[in-house]
Structure 1
Amino acid sequence: MKKVYPIGEFAKKTGQTIRTLHYYDEIGILKPSCVSSSGRRFYSEDEIIALQKIVALKFLGFSLEEIKHFMQEEKWDLKESLAFQKKLLLQKREHIDRVIKAVTHAQHLIEERETIDPNMFCLLINSIQMENKHKEWLKQFMPDETVEKMFDISEEKQLEYGKKLLEVFEKLKECYGKDPSDNDVQSLIEKLFSIAKEVAKEVFDEDLSLFHWKGDELAEEPMLFSSPFSKEEEEWVAKAIEIFLAKEGVDWNEEES
């Protein structure tokens, strides 16, 4: 006669909770060996082997519904299932890596601040969260090799440029309401273009005389490219940029036409 264990003892022996074993019984994934007239569940060594299979499949990331299907089969055809599962796990790992990167960047950029503007924070997270979609979008307008090079900046440089941009954006928001031609505002716009030229030089290894800002395409993708500014602030910044470019001898309206 097979040795059986009350559910409490079986739970301790297998490292599972009684609640989990009850649930597995309810959904039909692991039935007890026998149930007494009073409703007490008992498990044998056979259920330990079955539970080991369940634990192994759970470790690989299979859902309980998928595991239930496997448990009903004598032979497991895992080739396609494992390939699909590996693909899902790689996607999860990529997502976790992006989240860790976002948290690291956020910590670095706000280490000297007690608070941060929500729009600034969302801009930071969006830039990392949507990185792959940003690449796909940019490849509509640039060669693939150029786009990949743009995103191949070292982590250290990304943090450096991110911090500089955050500081400029914050100061622009503080200046909102001033005349766009105000010296303080124009000085910030100049810094903005200076950072853009730094990035361009880092990516293309050449000194660009002026980094032309054209935002119409970006404005058409509000969910893809978040903005640190409200609509009113964006219009104000756009006017300040137009004034700055005019001083540099560039007709922004002509550039956009």
Structure 2
Amino acid sequence: MAEKYSIGEFAKKTGTTIRALRYYDEIHLLKPTLVSPSGRRYYSNNDIIQLQKIVALKFLGYSLEKISEFLHLKDWDLKDSLAFQKQEMVQRKEHIERVIRALDHALHIMEDQGTVNSSIFISLINNIQMEDEHKEWLKGLIPESKVEVLYNISEEKQQELNARTAFLFTKMKEAVGQNPESDKVQGLIQDYMDIAEDVLGGSLELIQDLINRQVEIEDDPKLFPSPFTPEEEEWVGKAMEVYLKRKGVIFDGNETS
């Protein structure tokens, strides 16, 4: 061959590491043009072209296994594959943007409150991670227009709500075991309902409507991981029932007082 390069020279010329070239050789992705009796690898200018193809396809996000398939094809008809890869990259981009958003929310809470109970933290992050699934679930309970309004709030507002919720849940955990009818506990429930009212509006009417329609809300820990333990959930449930009855919500009829 007109030009030949040792593996070190080839690595330097192409900006690739020797380790990567050895791995490409091992998986038959890029074999050296010549291997001496002593085992020394030598590459040619044609190998540079092959490496450029590998680098370009890696840039597009293809796996080395997929790249190997392409390189062994006689003709490159990549249109369908490129369209599929574009969709994969769009989905990955959306995922990354959602992760960044979750990190922004987490940092906002930490800056506002310092440490946060891990169960509360996971619950709030889940609300961002499972946002699409939550929207579809809510559409089975309340009008779609209300759901769209709920999710059409600014990031700043959403961060504020998450911070308020994290702070409130922390206070509720600290109050577990106290009399659910006490002013302090009922004040915490009122704070929770204030958040719900801020987000939904007409929260008491919505609760009464769900009761009247005998809607059973499924407890799906995968979709809605609770920030509370089962014992804490039971205590919160009792406190909430006291609050709703005092507000005139009726649990055994179709009227509100």
Q: Under a length normalisation based on structure 1, what TM-score does the superposition of the two structures give? A: 0.91
2:109 corresponding residue in structure 1: 109
What amino acid maps onto 1:30 in structure 2? L
What amino acid maps onto 2:157 in structure 1? K
Contact preservation (8 Å) 2:116, 2:166? no
Q: Which moved more, 1:159-168 or 1:134-143?
A: 134-143
Instruction: Provide the alpha-carbon RMSD of the alignment.
Output: 2.0
SS state of the match for residue 48, structure 1?
Answer: helix
User: After superposition, where does 1:225-244 map in structure 2 within 5 Å?
Assistant: 225-244=224-243
How many residue pairs were aligned? 250
Distance 1:240 1:28 in 2: 66
Q: 1:159 to 1:114 in 2, by over 3 A?
A: closer
Listed one character per residue, the Cα deviations across residues 153-205 of structure 1 (whole Å, up to 9, x for unaligned) are 1111111111111111111111001011111000010111111111124xxxx
Q: Would you say 1:141 and 2:141 are equivalent positions? A: yes
2:150 corresponding residue in structure 1: 150
SS state of the match for residue 192, structure 1?
Answer: helix
Distance 2:121 2:147 in 1: 24
Q: CA deviation at 1:147?
A: 2.3
Listed one character per residue, the Cα deviations across residues 106-133 of structure 1 (whole Å, up to 9, x for unaligned) are 1111213332101011011101111111
Contact preservation (8 Å) 1:242, 1:252? no
Q: 1:197 to 1:165 in 2, by over 3 A?
A: same
SS state of the match for residue 115, structure 1?
Answer: coil
Distance 2:86 2:116 in 1: 38
SS state of the match for residue 111, structure 1?
Answer: helix
Distance 2:217 2:203 in 1: 22
User: After superposition, where does 1:1-257 map in structure 2 within 5 Å?
Assistant: 1-201=1-201, 210=205, 212=207, 217-252=216-251, 254=253
What amino acid maps onto 1:64 in structure 2? L
Structure 2: which 5+ runs fail to align? none
What amino acid maps onto 1:247 in structure 2? R
SS state of the match for residue 39, structure 1?
Answer: coil
Listed one character per residue, the Cα deviations across residues 63-103 of structure 1 (whole Å, up to 9, x for unaligned) are 11111111112321111101110111111111100100000
Q: Which moved more, 1:147-156 or 1:50-59?
A: 147-156
Q: CA deviation at 1:243?
A: 0.3
Structure 1: which 5+ runs fail to align? 202-206
| Percentage of identical aligned residues | 51
Q: 1:108 to 1:218 in 2, by over 3 A?
A: farther
Listed one character per residue, the Cα deviations across residues 187-238 of structure 1 (whole Å, up to 9, x for unaligned) are 010111111111124xxxxx66655286985552111011111111011001
Q: 1:209 to 1:179 in 2, by over 3 A?
A: closer
Distance 2:161 2:253 in 1: 29
Q: 1:129 to 1:253 in 2, by over 3 A?
A: farther
